[in-house]
Each structure stands twice: as C-alpha cells, then as structure tokens.
Amino acid sequence: MKRLFAYTLVALALAGCDKAEQNTAQATVPTGQCAKDIDCKGDRICESGQCVSPQAPHTLAAKPPVAPELAPAAPTMAYETLLVSGDSAGPFSIQRMELGTALMYPSRAGVVNVMESVVEDVEATGYVTIEKAYSFGPSKYVVVVSTGEGGNACPASTYVFSFDTKGEYVDGKQAVDGCSEVVESLAEGNKLTVKKDGVATVVYNGVVQ
C-alpha cells in the first residue's frame, strides 16, 4: 500500500513538471511569431519569425536623357564669284609665253606664274583659259582653268586649284574629270562643285584637297 502511494506521488510530480515546462515554453514564445507567410495576416510576410509588411520594390533609376546631336555650325564665310573678263579674273591674268601660256599673280616678291604649281610641264600647256574664279574669305581664291596640253585627244584638260594669298602659294589642286570644253560650277555657301562630262569635283572652305 505504501509502495502504491509512493508511485502515485512520483507520477503526479512528473506530470506537474511536464506541464510547467510546457507553460514556460508557451510563455517564452513571442506573440505574432510565424513560421511562413501564410501565418501572417493580410499581405504581411514572415521574416525572422516576425510578421512584417513587405518593402516596396526598388524602382529602376531613370536613364539620363540623351543629349541631341548638335548640327554643324553654319559657315561664317561663303564663296563669292569673281568676274572673268577676257584674260583676267581678280588678281590673276593670262600671259602668252614663247612656250606655253602663263597664269600670272602679282606676289610681294614679283609676278609669278602659278601654272608652275598646277601642271607638270608649263611649256606644254598650249592655251590657258580661266573658266571660273571665286574668292573665299579675305585670303583664299579658288580658280578653274583649262589648258590645251592634251591636244586633240583631250581638247580641254581642266584643273581646279586653291591659292592662299597670305603665303602666296597654291595650297591644293585637282584635275577635273572629263575632256569636254564645257565646264559647269555651282557655289553653295562653303561648298563649290565643279563638273564636266565626268565625276564632279567638290571643294569645301576654299581649299582643294
């Protein structure tokens, strides 16, 4: 009888301890604790055992506006047509030589034949004709001349050259494509187009490239 009573006391004591531990564990669980999002109310989510409101997603930074491409500045100078009168145009004039024909320019050092810088053989030019002449700004000239150096095979060999009056020299030249004696030109602002019966030659800003 005494043993039965002792066993009963031990069983009651153990049951009391388990209940106390359970109550203690429940007391230590903070309110609002969660294990997953569905344990939280509304649109809140579970983070580190707590129900919290979701953070707003980071908005993408707006791309900076692309600066528009600037149009090239309009030329401050333009071609001006020079009057071709007989054998002269502006400061240039034609002079017949014993061999060939010269295109003279009055430089500070004296009169010079600029055809020496335009054709390979000044004595084989035959005739020289000023077709067109232009000024570009205060110190640039562009002149179109034709020669008879090609003979019957090419009645007119035509050249366009640019002349710098500061340095007093030919700073660029090109042969104009074709053998026709008809030369056409068109000046538009800083652009000059020279054409015969072949490919056109274009000169910008008073300098033949």
Question: How do residues 118-169 score in pLDDT, each as one tens digit?
Answer: 999 999 999 999 999 999 999 999 999 999 998 889 999 999 999 999 999 9
Cα 151 off chain centre by: 46
End-to-end alpha-carbon separation of the chain, Å?
A: 129
Q: Identity (one letter) of the amino acid at 81?
A: T
Q: Is the pTM of this model over 0.85?
A: no
pLDDT, one tens digit per residue, over 62-115 is: 566 666 655 545 567 999 999 999 899 999 999 999 989 999 999 999 999 999
Strands (E), 82-147: 84-85, 88-89, 92-96, 101-107, 110-113, 128-136, 140-147
Q: Identity (one letter) of the amino acid at 114?
A: V
7-25 mean pLDDT: 49
- What are the residues whose beta carbons fall under 8 Å from the beta carbon of 195, sequence distance 6 or more? 176, 178, 183, 184, 185, 201
pLDDT, one tens digit per residue, over 19-34 is: 444 444 444 445 557 8
84, containing H or E segment: strand 84-85
Name the residue ranges covered by the structural domains of the chain: 79-204
Maximum Cα interatomic distance, the chain, rounded to a whole number of Å: 161
